[in-house]
Structure 1
Amino acid sequence: GRASGESLNAGKARPLRGDAEPHIKEVKARGEAGETEKERARRVVDAFVRFTRPHTMMGTAISVTSVSLLALRNSADIGGAFVASVVIALVAALAMNISIVGLNQVYDVDIDKVNKPYLPLASGEFSEGTGKAIVLGTALFSLAIGVASGSLPLMLTLVASLLLGIFYSADLPLLRWKRFPVLAAMCILAVRAVIVQLGFFNHVRSALTLHVGSVVKDRFEWASSLGLVFGTGFMVLFSVAIALFKDLPDIVGDEKAGIKTLSVVLGRDFVFRACNALLMAAYASAVAVGLFCTNVWWSKAITVGAHSILGLALVRRSRDVDLSSSDSLYSFYMFIWKLFYAEYLLLPFIR
């Protein structure tokens, strides 16, 4: 599956792409080797973790926390209401993340046997029924939290994310937008760059507004803060780059499945260069914002310094990529995700 740019956690070794059969046989052999209950439980937990796509879980946790911190106006906002709103948002968002990436795996079993044989549905560790049960259960759990919270921004964010996940992955009439490069990119961009920023920001602001008795007008004035506007713009560029780059390592499986991604249509070299250009544009804009838009010296120093360092790291790392190697492209793709995480760590400092 490739929903939301998903892939295996960067720190975990993975089988070579296309080497599905040996991996599947190994999984079956382990299951038939007389495991103890403890060993079986450990194996099921490991499979579930892989099913959740750990790096997307990390990205969701970091992004929700970062955007929530942006919603703080001053130290007086830090309190029980803030903590509760963040915890509610995190639990609901992580559950929905599992549902969305799981849905993609349910519909991508055959493709994943070529591109990602380590995923539990592709390897046979989980049955299709188990996968569907996890997808449905986590979606309902997430939506239940949204309803119970009474937060309209949170509920709208969860519903919008789920609908886009269905449009992206489900093999139904007029759906499975991942087959169309522009629609696929728009799905990822909408969730990562817009819905997450605006939805969770306003969820926390709503909770704080109710808690401190502020007028609603104040919340919408704050919604135009520098950090939120910059973060949305930066993540638009980054999300487009991720949406394009995620298909580069999977070009073999996509060609066999007849999925005409931009990587298949335009070639690896063009897409690789286009993605790098988008990422560098994002870092150049960040440095400009730091120099000309930030209001305090420490924010200016952090914004300019950190983004300059990350931009240089991107240039250096991109020079080592072997475009003919799926593993090399995959490694660089995971590096882009690390840059994505890093940006959310920096976002609360842009004031």
Structure 2
Amino acid sequence: MIGITLCAFSSSLLAVEKLSDISLSFFIGVLQAVLPQLFIEIYLSGVNQLYDLEIDKINKPHLPIASGQFSFKTGVIVSASFLALSVGFTWITGSWPLIWNLIVISSTWTAYSIDVPLLRWKRYPLVAAMCMVSTWAFALPISFFHHMQTVVLKRPISFPRSLTFVVAFMTFYSMGLALSKDIPDVEGDKEHGINSLSVRLGQKRVFWICVFLFEMAFGVGLLAGASSSYLHTKIVTGLGNVVLASILLYQAKSVDLNNKASTGFFYMFIWKLLYAAFFLMALIR
């Protein structure tokens, strides 16, 4: 949810061309984008926990449904309620970028979790990774940008150089996130027939593939800064991505892949690096 909020601000700032664009309508536009997206994230988290109940009892026993804090029925009610809230708020905005964003993300991640024929895409490593990439590299930044560009600022639809760099950065980074997510969950996934890449190739190999993908993303960020015509962007974006890449590599060397707490900490750590990267991406011009 933190990532969603920062992605919305960062992507919306890419549409800003002059200081006067940052007005009350700008912040209302960001809120229109963020609020229904946070509701849909709660719905998707609930659906995932409902269908992964037995797996979560092994991998993540602290979660509300797996731990028994929420009953299965409560989980269904909470999930359905937040889906309804998300649809209602999105429809009220009348923003077609946000409506299409809701359709794509809700359908993609519902298909990822639910256990019916031809779905439960989390069973297929490549398809599962594409769910993450399609959401974080394409649906979120592009829809947030075009909501601000066309609905709030009333400008023609466009695909600027800055948005291209964000999409490229997030393609590498979201692929790494998708593969990293399964590293701490090998035990439960293996027992319940979820053949993630970590189950197939082993945790160590997948871990260093992920590190490579993250470093490639920071390389894209460095290139975006270096190719900017603005000196402050060159310095802040370029140097910032070098610092983040160095911190990542340093932290990666200390991860104990045989320790579930260590791999779980690393997964949350790479999200924190992404939060910092969103601030840098907002400066790309």
User: Displacement of 1:102 after TM fit?
Assistant: 1.2
Q: Is structure 2 residue 266 aligned with structure 1 residue 332?
A: yes
Q: Please tell me whether the aligned partners of residues 204 and 257 of structure 2 are also in contact (alpha carbons under 8 angstroms).
A: yes
Paired residues of 2:48 and 2:114 also in contact (CA < 8 A) = yes
Instruction: Look up the match of 1:88.
Output: 32
- Counterpart check, 1:276 vs 2:219: no
Residue 60 of structure 1 is matched in structure 2 by: 4
User: Secondary structure at the residue paired with 1:194?
Assistant: helix
Distance in 2, Cα, partners of 1:347 & 1:290? 9
CA shift digits 1:93-117 (9 cap, x unpaired): 1111111111101101111011111
Q: Deviations over 1:218-246 (max 9, x none)?
A: x32xx22x321111110110000010011
- Cα RMSD over matched residues? 1.1
Q: Which amino acid aligns with 2:58?
A: V
Pair 1:135 & 2:79 matched: yes
Instruction: Report Cα offsets for 1:173-213 as digits up to 9, x if no partner.
Output: 11100000000000011011110011111111122343xxx
1:75 is displaced (CA, Å) by 1.4
- Supply the AA of the counterpart residue of 2:90: G
Match of 1:313 in 2: 247
Amino acid at match of 2:230: V
How many percent identity over aligned positions?
Answer: 37
1:228 to 124, 146, 163: 163
* Counterpart selection for 2:70 from 122, 126, 130: 126
Aligned length: 285
Whether the 8 Å CA contact 2:113–2:121 is kept in 1: the answer is yes
Alignment partner of 1:78 out of 13, 22, 29: 22
Letter in 1 for 2:222: V
| 2:151 matched residue in structure 1 | 207
Kindly indicate whether the alpha-carbon contact (under 8 Å) linking 1:81 and 1:207 is maintained by their aligned counterparts in 2.
Answer: no
Q: Which residue of 1 aligns with 2:200?
A: 265
2:121 and 2:128 in contact (8 A); partners too: yes
Runs of 4+ in 1 over 3 A off after TM superposition: none
Is the 1:77–1:208 Cα contact (8 Å) retained in structure 2? Answer: no
Structure 1: state its 5+ residue gaps: 1-56
Q: List aligned pairs for 1:16-35, cutoff 5 A.
A: none
AA matched with 1:151 = S
CA contact (8 A) 1:249 1:330 kept: yes
> 275, 278, 295: which one pairs with 2:229?
295
Q: Supply the AA of the counterpart residue of 2:21.
A: D
Q: Deviations over 1:258-286 (max 9, x none)?
A: 11000000011110111111111112222
CA distance in 1: counterparts of 2:7 and 2:221, whole angstroms: 17
Q: Is the 8 A contact 2:125 2:195 kept in 1?
A: yes
- Once the two structures are TM-superposed, the CA of residue 88 in structure 1 deviates from its matched residue by 1.2
**Correspondence for 2:180:** 245
Paired amino acid for 2:283: F
Aligned counterparts of 2:13 and 2:75: Cα–Cα separation in 1: 34
Q: How far apart are the structure 1 equivalents of 2:74 and 2:166?
A: 37
By how many angstroms is 1:315 displaced?
A: 1.1
- TM-score, with structure 1 as normaliser: 0.79
> Which residue number in structure 1 is paired with residue 123 of structure 2?
179
**Unmatched runs of 5 consecutive residues or more in structure 2:** none
- What pairs with 1:8-47 in structure 2 (closer than 5 Å)? none
How much has 1:79 moved relative to structure 2?
1.9
Q: Which has the larger radius of gyration?
A: 1
**Which residue type is aligned with residue 270 of structure 1?**
R
Amino acid at match of 1:272: F
Q: Quick one: distance in 2 between partners of 1:318 and 1:84?
A: 39
How high is the TM-score relative to the length of structure 2?
0.97
